[in-house]
Amino acid sequence: MDEIVKEILFPRAAIQKRVRELADQISKDYAGRELVIIGVLKGAFIFMADLVREISVPCRVDFTRLASYGAGSDSSGKVVMTKDIETSIKGKDILIVEDILDTGLTLQYVVNWLKERNPNSLKICVFLDKRKRRKVSFEADYVGFTIDDGFVVGYGLDFNEKYRFSPDIYVIKQ
Ligand code: 5GP
């Protein structure tokens, strides 16, 4: 963890507390229903694993994968789906789980593509929201924390595949 200069943004305890709060809200909102939770790989896998263990309504999980960022820290603006889900979502209640909402291009693409399959409902849960960086008008239904501009790593988020497994979230200092 020493190659780049970084500063802690959210320590593990704050993350765990916020995940439980999100899960409680989701469990209340979906009481009596069954959820299909779709995680966006790779970044969301740790957040999603924590979240599903705190949600009290019955869930199924599936995953999609999209390419948009390449290996750097700035978005190319182009989104390509590289892994489809394997669950039929027609008539189901869907919750998309993503690590971070930045320009909005990735989630806008996912939502448009999944809506074509006629789910009963579709909501978005993101752990981090960089609201000021949006390039398209797009809001998540559940947000862990809203953050300022800056590149963050840890808790599933990587920088060239590094720092993904840190239990804390850091912001990289340029
Ligand atoms: P968007 O399409 O909203 O611009 O980008 C969403 C994706 O960009 C996220 O799923 C994530 O993979 C990547 N991303 C955006 N900001 C950051 C960041 O600060 N750190 C990391 N590691 N990835 C980011």
> Residue 103 sits in which domain range?
12-69+77-146
> How many independent structural domains does the chain possess?
1
Active site annotation includes 29: no
Q: What percent of the chain has pLDDT over 90?
A: 85
Task: Tell whether the model's pLDDT for residue 70 goes beyond 50.
Answer: no
For residue 16, give the 3-state DSSP assignment.
helix
pLDDT for res 76: 58
Record the pTM: 0.93
Which tens digits make up the pLDDT trace of 32-45? 999 999 999 999 99
- Residue 91 domain-assigned? yes
Helices (H), 63-126: 105-115
- Residue 41 domain-assigned? yes
Q: What is the mean pLDDT of residues 96-117?
A: 95
Pick the catalytic residue from 50, 93, 99, 102: 102
pLDDT for res 41: 97
- Residue 169 domain-assigned? no
Q: Whose CA is nearest to atom 17 of ligand 1?
A: 151
pLDDT for res 32: 97
- Residue 111 domain-assigned? yes
- Residue 137 domain-assigned? yes
- Residue 92 domain-assigned? yes
Q: Whose CA is nearest to atom 11 of ligand 1?
A: 100
Sheet holding 6-10, edge to edge: 6-10, 169-172, 152-153
- Residue 172 domain-assigned? no
CATH number for the domain harbouring residue 116: 3.40.50.2020
Residue 89 φ then ψ, to 5°: -105, 5
Q: What is the mean pLDDT of residues 95-119?
A: 96
127 vs 75, which has greater pLDDT? Answer: 127
Token pair in block for residue 27 = 């469990």
Which tens digits make up the pLDDT trace of 126-169? 999 999 989 999 899 999 999 998 999 999 999 999 999 999 99
- Residue 174 domain-assigned? no
Listed in sequence order, the residues at least 6 apart from 41 whose beta carbon sits closer than 8 Å to its beta carbon are 63, 64, 65, 83
